[in-house]
């Protein structure tokens, strides 16, 4: 009787896992801005709606918006110059750039649909407008790369697989595999955004070499006890620098 029950559970697990994989495969499409094939479950309008809905809460988590309007105007000017001189201009996204008041957290991030943030802690460490362009160009790359959309879709796939694997007491194994896969994909997102950032900087007339300086700032901020790359969603700054140099050579030599 127990053996029969186990066969039923295996069948259920296989059906659930197959459903997750087939659904994920059916959602695959070519990103029109990067040419990469991705599993995508949100439309651009849905991405924009999520970003607009989440933006006030994200700002609040970082002490709200910075009160200095001159600093905010600089962020707007650099961000809009990047958008208006690159393929970002031809996307349906609504780009808005926000300088956050947070003086302690060195960070920049993008929400789906074009809401882009940089903390004052990072802004104040940047040495010139080219470095600011490097940070904002990288975040625009996340939006065009549909990285949040892709991670949401991947997470749904792994949640379903974990549920199916749980029927045969393999849920924890599936969860570990899924976490590892999402970490690896997250590191790929960062490298793709770095490359796109280099392209946007060149298109807008900024010096992409300064993006290397941003990596040095991030490396120094992380200190000697930074999380090993295999445990992090971000590649090691040294690896990112090498990839950035490759991207600079690629786009500078492009016809």
**Domain spans in the chain, listed from the N-terminal domain onward:** 2-252
pLDDT score for 173: 42
pLDDT score for 20: 61
pLDDT in tens, 25-68: 767 889 888 889 988 888 999 999 999 999 999 999 999 999 99
pLDDT score for 142: 93
pLDDT higher at 22 or 56? 56
pLDDT higher at 13 or 105? 105
**What's this model's pTM, rounded to 2 decimal places?**
0.80
CB 173 within 8 A of CB 165: yes
CB 189 within 8 A of CB 147: yes
Query: Residue 239 above 90 pLDDT?
Result: no
Confidence band, pLDDT 50/70/90 cuts, at residue 153? confident
CB 40 within 8 A of CB 146: yes
Lowest mean pLDDT, pick from 15-29, 40-54, 106-120, 128-142: 15-29
Distance CA 29, CA 32 (A): 9
Query: Residue 190 above 80 pLDDT?
Result: yes
Lowest mean pLDDT, pick from 130-139, 156-165, 194-203: 156-165
Residue 31 in 3-state DSSP? coil
pLDDT in tens, 201-220: 999 999 999 999 999 998 88
Mean pLDDT, the chain, rounded, equals 82
| Mean pLDDT, range 228-238, rounded to an integer | 54
CB 117 within 8 A of CB 188: no
Residue 223 in 3-state DSSP? coil
Handedness of CA 119, 120, 126, 132 (dihedral sign): positive
Name the nearest CA neighbour of 211 among 160, 142, 137: 137
pLDDT higher at 5 or 204? 204
Please give the DSSP secondary-structure letter assigned to residue 89.
Answer: G
Name the nearest CA neighbour of 155 among 255, 63, 40: 40
Strand partners, 100: 65, 119
Confidence band, pLDDT 50/70/90 cuts, at residue 174? very low
Q: What is the DSSP string of 174-220?
A: HHHHHHHHHHHHHHHHHHHHHHHHHHHHHHHT--TTHHHHHHHHHHH
pLDDT higher at 3 or 98? 98
Confidence band, pLDDT 50/70/90 cuts, at residue 172? low
């Amino acid at each position: 009787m127990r053996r029969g029950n186990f066969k039923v559970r295996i069948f259920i697990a296989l059906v659930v896992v197959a459903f997750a994989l087939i659904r994920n495969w059916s959602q695959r499409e070519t990103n029109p801005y990067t040419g990469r094939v991705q599993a995508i479950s949100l439309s651009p309008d849905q991405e924009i709606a999520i970003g607009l809905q989440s933006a006030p809460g994200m700002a609040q988590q970082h002490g709200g918006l910075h009160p200095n309007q001159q600093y905010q105007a600089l962020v707007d000017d650099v961000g809009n110059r990047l958008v208006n001189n690159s393929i970002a201009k031809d996307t349906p996204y609504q780009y808005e750039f926000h300088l956050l008041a947070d003086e302690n957290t060195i960070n920049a991030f993008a929400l789906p649909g074009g809401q882009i943030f940089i903390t004052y802690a990072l802004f104040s460490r940047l040495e010139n407008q080219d470095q600011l362009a490097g940070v904002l160009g990288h975040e625009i790359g996340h939006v065009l790369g549909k990285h949040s959309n892709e991670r949401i879709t991947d997470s749904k796939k792994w949640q379903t697989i974990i549920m199916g694997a749980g029927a045969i007491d393999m849920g924890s194994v599936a969860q570990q595999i899924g976490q590892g896969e999402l970490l690896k994909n997250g590191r790929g997102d960062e490298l793709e955004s770095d490359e796109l950032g280099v392209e946007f900087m060149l298109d807008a007339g900024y010096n992409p070499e300064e993006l290397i300086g941003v990596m040095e700032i991030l490396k120094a901020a992380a200190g000697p006890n930074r999380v090993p790359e295999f445990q992090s969603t971000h590649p090691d700054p040294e690896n990112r620098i090498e990839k950035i140099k490759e991207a600079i050579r690629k786009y500078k030599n492009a016809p």
